[in-house]
């Protein structure tokens, strides 16, 4: 009997923590300097945005926020392999992925600020709304991919989730259906090793997440999630397999959530400071990539500071413009339940609208 377990535990890496890369693989993947700069652009921009939104939450200017700090390489490397006609199905930590696919920063800010339209992607953008329910997006992603196959489209669906989602029934049902129907979907698991306060070893007895693919008869790949080049490689190969009609792939990107689960969480209650400092100080994906780019003469310290200033100005301008807008009236919530107006909901909307207007008249009387 073949031992498939060992096959699934090897982790693919192209760029080590010293900033040294496998040059042969870069040539094979046709990763040129323009693409390298593009990768860094999105990674650093994501870091700046994440830091700013954390500050906004602490100032009470947005609601609960889930930081993605430390996961920039996994998101950028995977998202840059997708075409505009491909579908992205995110969870609640894929801000960088969504913005690479075309989501405007203002739209993301609307979501964080609680505007009803903030979780509705713009028309003609193949992007599903943010999914907060753990693993709830996985069956939906499979359905989208199946529809693409039935319609003979050339699109691939990329479904993002965390390690905690692999303990949910939706994960197993989705992967099983995808494999049986051989649909063009890439399951991208960002294994940041903590499902809120629950470590990975308390969630499962299997050695890796990627080896779970064996049970479903699909390709499973384990990759260094802090290596943007390796994430690009494995996702590109998975997307190409899906586009050729060879079925789904499960990718486990091993990374680390540097901060708390959300701003409603406190990581110091369940993680050792030494563990966090190791990943922040020695394994940070952006710092690793910066070493590589500097060695190739593509980046300088001055260039980094100029980009940071540019991104900070961009974010500040969007925030300033957005905060001038008045919040939408509460009765508009009914407009986001069904695609077409529902008579009963329309009735409830009018009742709430009249009630609010009545309160305002009494207040001004």
Pull the structure tokens for residue 154: 């050339």
Instruction: Name the strand (E) or helix (H) holding 83.
Output: none
> Cα–Cα distance between 304 and 41 in angstroms, integer?
10
What letter would DSSP give residue 129? P
Instruction: Name the strand (E) or helix (H) holding 273.
Output: helix 273-282
**Contact (CB, 8 A) for 185 and 242:** yes
**Contact (CB, 8 A) for 228 and 76:** yes
Question: Is 257 in the active site?
Answer: yes
- For the chain, report the end-to-end CA distance as a whole number of angstroms: 83
Catalytic residue chosen out of the listed positions 69, 101, 241, 261: 261
Question: Is 270 in the active site?
Answer: yes
Pull the structure tokens for residue 289: 């990539």
Q: Which residues contact 243 (CB under 8 A, 6 or more apart)?
A: 154, 156, 184
> Cα–Cα distance between 229 and 168 in angstroms, integer?
30
Catalytic residue chosen out of the listed positions 243, 270, 271, 283: 270
> Cα–Cα distance between 210 and 176 in angstroms, integer?
14
Instruction: Name the strand (E) or helix (H) holding 300.
Output: none
The residues with which 195 forms a beta bridge, in sequence order, are 198
Residue 152, phi then psi, degrees to nearest 5: 60, 35
In DSSP notation, 246-257 reads ---EEEEEE---
The residue length of the chain stands at 365
Given its phi and psi angles, is residue 341 left (phi above 0), alpha (psi -120 to 50 degrees) or beta? beta
Q: How many CB atoms lie within 10 A of CB 122?
A: 11
Catalytic residue chosen out of the listed positions 115, 222, 241, 257: 257
Question: Is 296 in the active site?
Answer: no
**Contact (CB, 8 A) for 127 and 121:** yes
Q: Which residues are catalytic?
A: 257, 261, 270
């Amino acid at each position: 009997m073949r031992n498939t377990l060992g096959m699934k535990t090897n982790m693919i890496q192209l760029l080590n923590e010293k900033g040294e890369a496998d040059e042969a693989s870069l040539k094979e993947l046709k990763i040129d300097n323009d693409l390298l700069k593009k990768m860094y652009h999105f990674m650093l921009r994501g870091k700046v945005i994440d830091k700013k939104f954390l500050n906004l939450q602490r100032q009470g200017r947005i609601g609960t926020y889930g930081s993605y700090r430390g996961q920039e390489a996994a998101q950028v490397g995977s998202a840059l392999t997708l075409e505009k006609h491909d579908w992205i199905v995110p969870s609640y930590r894929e801000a960088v992925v969504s913005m690479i696919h075309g989501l405007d920063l203002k739209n993301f800010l609307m979501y964080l600020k609680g505007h009803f339209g903030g979780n509705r992607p713009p028309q003609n953008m193949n992007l599903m709304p943010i999914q907060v329910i753990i693993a709830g997006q996985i069956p939906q992603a499979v359905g989208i991919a199946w529809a693409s196959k039935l319609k003979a489209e050339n699109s691939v669906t990329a479904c993002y989730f965390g390690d905690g989602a692999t303990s949910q029934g939706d994960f197993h049902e989705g992967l099983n259906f995808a494999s049986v129907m051989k649909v063009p979907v890439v399951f991208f698991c960002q294994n940041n090793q903590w499902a809120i306060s629950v470590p990975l070893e308390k969630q499962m007895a299997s050695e890796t997440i990627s080896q779970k693919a064996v049970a479903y008869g699909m390709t499973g790949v384990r990759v260094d999630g802090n290596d943007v080049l390796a994430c690009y490689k494995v996702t590109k190969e998975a997307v190409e397999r899906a586009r050729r009609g060879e079925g789904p792939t499960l990718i486990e990107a091993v990374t680390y959530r540097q901060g708390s689960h959300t701003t409603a969480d406190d990581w110091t209650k369940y993680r050792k400071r030494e563990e966090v400092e190791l990943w922040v100080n020695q394994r940070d994906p952006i710092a690793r990539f910066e070493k590589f780019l500097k060695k190739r003469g593509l980046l300088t310290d001055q260039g980094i500071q100029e980009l940071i200033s540019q991104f900070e100005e961009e974010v500040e301008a969007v925030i300033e413009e957005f905060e001038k807008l008045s919040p939408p009236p509460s009765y508009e919530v009914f407009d986001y339940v069904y695609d077409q107006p529902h008579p009963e909901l329309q009735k409830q909307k009018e009742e709430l609208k009249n009630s609010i207007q009545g309160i305002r008249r009494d207040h001004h009387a």
